[in-house]
Each structure stands twice: as structure tokens, then as C-alpha cells.
Structure 1
Amino acid sequence: MAAKSPESSLMVNRHIDLCFDLDLAITAVDDTSEISKATSMVSTMPTVTVVDACTVCREGFQSGEGGKQLPCGHVYHAGCIASWLSLRNSCPLCRCSVPSKD
């Protein structure tokens, strides 16, 4: 029987928790002054044509329906991202900070 390499032994013992609880993330509130500024940015975000699903609600976009694009490039339904930004001032997917409009 061949001996295991140190690298393969490390991989066996490595566990990465990839679970994401959207309800928990939505209920965890960030600094409210920054949140209200980020929420006001939704109307100024570019509207883009998309073919994928919104990662907040997991529903697809209707034909001809545009999504709101954050500075990081991720796209969401306007209502979904407005709800998210009312609690957190970051992208739901990559956690990039959404700059406030001053």
C-alpha cells in the first residue's frame, strides 16, 4: 500500500462550510446611517438586461425586465436589492461595499 502524501492528508481533514443563510444575513443589520445612504442609491444604479436569476429571490427576470447593477457588477431585481440595502450596505453575493451617494 502506498503512503499518502502530506497534501492529500491535509485535504481529507479540511472542511469548508459553504452554507449561506440569507434570512440570517438579512436580519443582521449594519450601521443604519450608511444603510440609508446605500438604499437611496438604488434609483441611480444602471438598469441592465439580464438572463440569469436574481440571487436575492432566486427568481428569473421577465423578458425585457431590467435589473439593477451594483458597482461590483452583480445584478438584482430593483425591489430585491432595495430590501437588501435597507439592512446592509454591501453586495449580497460578494460583500463589496455599496458606496453611499453623498
Structure 2
Amino acid sequence: MIELSEVIAELRRELDEAMRAGAGHRLRFELGPVEVEASVAVERSGGADAKVRFWVLDAGADARIARSETHRISLTLHPKITGQSGPPEIAGPETERER
């Protein structure tokens, strides 16, 4: 199992890498909404610092998780780059007369 926050962090790293890899290329893509769907197990810990955690299930989830209640969630993320207006681009800077 992987924490949902780790899944989102890895997605962020992958999109950053796509932006770096596309730098200098003529063909560009604007990044639109990113949809993520996952099966999750919800765990609530007790005690003074109680919190709820969402665990994303992988294909090899063990029998213990298979017997617990799971939920399916869908997230739509709208990527933004700090200080930039408009959608991020995953293929380098805009060139003159491109659009």
C-alpha cells in the first residue's frame, strides 16, 4: 500500500520531469486537468493525535486488506505553476509566432 500523498507527490515529480524533458522542443502541450482514480483503504488511528489516512491499494494487496472495507475515489487536479498565469506547458517555452 502507498499513502495517497505519495501518489500525488510522484505524479508531481513525473509532470516536472515531462516539463524538463520537453524544453527546447517545437511541439508543445498545455497540461489540462489531471484525473486520478484509485482504490483506497481508509485507516483511522486513535489517541491524542488521531488522524485518518488514505492508502492506495496496489495489485498485490494482501488478504488482510482484501477483507477490509475499501473505497474508490476520483480526484481531478488542476495543475498550476507558482507565479505563472494560464495552464502549465509540458514542452518548453513558447516560441515566436507559435500560436
Q: TM-score, normalised by structure 1?
A: 0.19
For CA contacts below 8 A with separation 6 or more, give which structure has more relative contact order: 2
More strand by proportion, 1 or 2? 2
Q: TM-score, normalised by structure 2?
A: 0.19
